[in-house]
Amino acid sequence: MNKKLKLAELNRLSISEYAKSEKDPIIVILDNIRSLNNVGSIFRTCDAFAVEKLFLCGITAQPPHREIRKTAIGATESVNWEYAQTTNQAIESCKALGYDCYAIEQTKNSISLDKLVLKNKKIALILGNEVDGVSQDSIDICNGSIEVPQWGTKHSFNVSVTTGIVLWEIKKSTSLI
């Protein structure tokens, strides 16, 4: 029988154990995300994929906030995060630490996620506003852009869904899992 596990049977790390655990050299940068539910969901996804850090930039809401807490379900306590006034400040900070920075955006020269080959395992991913995407001035200072392949009539995923897709594929392709 394929019995569903109870929470106690999942053997999850405590917040203090998680804080001490090794993280992957991946930084997620949120470029002016409007929805607090998206912010909370991305916190939760960053926790699940053990990313090193999450930058909240511009108008992106910061914890503590009830609406973020609803979808983060405690991940605001486990994920290392920082606020940056501008997305470009966060990108420059990551570059100074040796990270390659990629906008997750559809651009003229974007690399399809399924064809992405990373030379540097230290990577920062910039995810954009729900309406406008990643700002052009941030795209301009990135090492490149990555596009998630799509086959339907819409030309975008929700930003929190995109975060999960991209982190999963990067962890798979870089053998970080």
Residue 9 covered by a domain: no
pLDDT-derived band at 173 (thresholds 50, 70, 90) equals confident
Residue 16 in any domain: the answer is no
The mean per-residue pLDDT over the stretch 7-13 comes to: 91
- Please indicate, yes or no, if residue 2 is contained in any of the structural domains: no
Q: Examine residue 8 and state whether it is found in any structural domain, yes or no.
A: no
Please state whether beta strands 51-57 and 24-31 pair in parallel, antiparallel, or not at all (unpaired). parallel
Q: What is the pLDDT of residues 109-162, one digit of tens each?
A: 999 999 999 989 999 999 999 999 999 999 999 999 999 999 999 989 999 999
Burial class of residue 144 (count of CB atoms within 10 Å of its CB; 0-12, 13-18, 19+): middle
1-10, 33-42, 60-69, 89-98, range with the lowest pLDDT? 1-10
Q: Is residue 3 part of a domain?
A: no
* Residue 105 domain-assigned (yes or no): yes
Residue 169 lies in a domain: yes
What pLDDT, on the 0 to 100 scale, is given for residue 176? 53
Query: What is the total count of domains within the chain?
Result: 1
Mean pLDDT across the chain, nearest whole number?
A: 95
Question: Is the pLDDT score of 18 beyond 70?
Answer: yes
> Which CATH number belongs to the domain containing residue 112 in this structure?
3.40.1280.10
**CA 101 vs CA 20, 90, 122: distances in Å:** 26, 10, 9
Instruction: Write the CA distances from 171 to 9, 92, 98, 115, 121, integer angstroms.
Output: 25, 23, 19, 14, 10
Averaged pLDDT for residues 23-31 = 97
Q: Is the pLDDT of residue 174 over 80?
A: no
| Residues of the domain holding 69 | 22-173
Its pTM stands at 0.96
Residue 14: inside a domain: no
Share of the chain above pLDDT 90, in %: 93
Q: Would you state the pLDDT for residue 177? A: 46
